[in-house]
Chains A and B, each alone.
Chain A
Amino acid sequence: MANPTGWKPSVEKESGGAGGPARPGTGGAVRGLAYEEKLIFEHAGGDRSGVSLPAPTGAWDPAREIPAGLLRGEVEGLPSLAELDVVRHFTRLSVWNHGIDTGFYPLGSCTMKYNPKSSEALARLPGFAAAHPLLPAEMCQGSLELMYRLERALSEISGFAGTTIAPAAGAHGELCGLMMIRAYHVARGNARKKVLIPDTAHGTNPASAAFNGYRTVEVKSGPDGRLHPDAVRAVMDEDVAAIMITNPNTLGVFESDIAAIAEVVHAKGGLVYGDGANLNALLGVARPGDMGFDVMQFNLHKTFATPHGGGGPGSGPVAVKEALLPFLPLPVVVREGAAYRLVADPAERPRTVGRLREFHGNFGMMVRAWALIRELGPEGLRRSAELAVLNANYVRARLQDVYHLPYATDSLHEVVFTDKLQKAAGVSTMDVAKALIDEGFHPPTVYFPLVVAGALMIEPTETESKETLDAFVEGMRAIAARAAADPDALHAAPVKPVRARLDETRAARKPVLRWTPGMALE
């Protein structure tokens, strides 16, 4: 049929100027169909609600039971919206985010791999999702069995005697690991005073050490980006409780001297703590427990693909050698015959460091991690490490002629470049990061590790295809070319997102941390 209304879609001309369509990025980014959206509190008020609930009977009057001063009326300031208003609000907010589901997310040391959809379905099975944590043991055997199996698998994957799955995140696991190290030393008569930390470490390492009352001593890495036994020997003494080592480290480099370093530390009675943030590189290839580590925390939200959720929830199990088993926090899952039980009473585990959080851990994350381990199996786990390392090395090979590679040492799962070659034209790592957004990619981790000036730390993970990596490489190369030809264009990036170059100084100087009626940023 002909077009009876005569309506025609308007087609914008390729002007390239302001308001015209932007050049698609190599990651596919064009201007999205995005909406301005107010704060939920700024939508019109009224007498609405977005829920369907039983009506109160009115048979009991709170004022007859609760002291008058402790009662409140409706909470002023809360929104009053119908369900669709709320759904539309959060749907609109969601499209302002870049997630793994949206595009490549090469954020170094964060292991942003694909989060399987089947894991989400499994975590929502009513038997798991509706289980109260204090159910009698006979009513929650399914949860307990899953926790037990996951604990056994994590111990095998890492090469340790036992694992606590209670900690809520990686940093919580670090805290837990150091508590056990401290308890171990206290049991031997001396808590010791210091923890050694390489200069490439995550910020959580020194913070966790300080939390446990330890003074931190930094150990310099060598010109190859590695920690060397001599550097450790120089600062190692009998006041050192532990050394905290990430392996592979945050440069993506394997600490090849780890066994010798562990010997140096063990010889003076210290313990070796492993930050497992980068365990993805080693799955099925090598095990921290076999290279001298005494304690190691996992990040299930990195290695085992549980979603990062915009900043949690995570899960940070901690694996230990035999000598540290008595200090594991509570609760612990045990199998007795065919039945499973939680040990939560310190009387059964008198040397435990105690309880680290409410209940038993982030069980929802455990379901997802176990689902991935089951689907991958031993070969799939190893293949994950292999492809993660292959992907990082491929990106390295294809970018090292246009971005400065500060360490020529072999890379495992991630590679660190710098902005040294772009600096001459006045283009910084931050400019590269922001320009990548216009290409349609999440920026890499920037300005970390601290030992590298202007670091760009790229971790592709195994779930990204060659096609995606090629598009990323093309985008990175285009940015490098523009840095030389038209640096101002890079200072102006990004132009495609709904907001660009937010004023962080102002946010910190005049903190506005909540909505208030009539709120305005002058």
Chain B
Amino acid sequence: MNKKFLESLKAYVFIGPFVILSGAFMIYPVFQGFIRSVYNSKWNRTVFVGLENYKKIFSSDVYLLSIKNSLLFVLVVVPLLIVFGIWIGGSIFDKKPLYVSSVRACLYIPVIASMVVMSIIWRFILDSQTGLVRYFAMVLGYDKAPNILADRTWTLVLLMIILFTMNIGQTVLLYVADMIGISRDLIEACRIDGGSRLDLFCYVLVPLTMPTTILTFITQTSAVLKVFVVIQLLTKGGPNYGTTTMMYLLYQDAFENRDTGTASAMGVLMFMISLILISMRFVAMSRERKEKGL
């Protein structure tokens, strides 16, 4: 009994730092966010306002638009990532290792170069006065370069493209790793039965990478929702609030408008979305475990 106690004690020493740090710098602030979300602390006075901050979010056009934009990004970008991830992964995984790692590296480099740098480059390229976009406009026969960042629809499309290029590397990496692990026999069997590449996708690759697809859906939804840098550096939420997202308004309220109540309420809403994703993850994990017979 004593030995067991000693064993647990040692384990707590090992896991302690993680639990303490995580408690102090994650659980505590999340908890604080809940409390602050029912207070209004404008004008240096903190007043209990109940659900007023939440009501403000759900009754203001700008906030509703930001929620709509965030969901739009998720609904467009995440499925594209999954489809392209499977397609690119499935097309390269059985090629020469050098080719596979080159493609992976090419797609991953934008991630490493960071959102800050990528946003700055795109701003250079798209500047209608000095950017490369003028050249492409000329080639296509326009006399003046369009100011893409002044048009809401084009800016949204552009942001989706950037979000896509910033996340596709990770997705392809996971699918390739998963597909390389698929038993050669299955792929061989598909070939012997006269299956085409398309059959290989439909009957082998897509069904067998389902766990990766679920994981990608969950993690990329979370990744797309928290996007901030590219909006801050490229569009500042504009034109005319057209490209604000939940995260961007949270930042604005928290650090520019000093409206900490509303910012905290937005944080709580985003945390709720995280909770949904977390429960999906747990369901997926327990299902997988059952399938493996554990």
Is B a genuine binding partner of A?
A: no
Q: Residues of A at under 8 Å CB distance from B?
A: none
Q: Residues of B at under 8 Å CB distance from A?
A: none
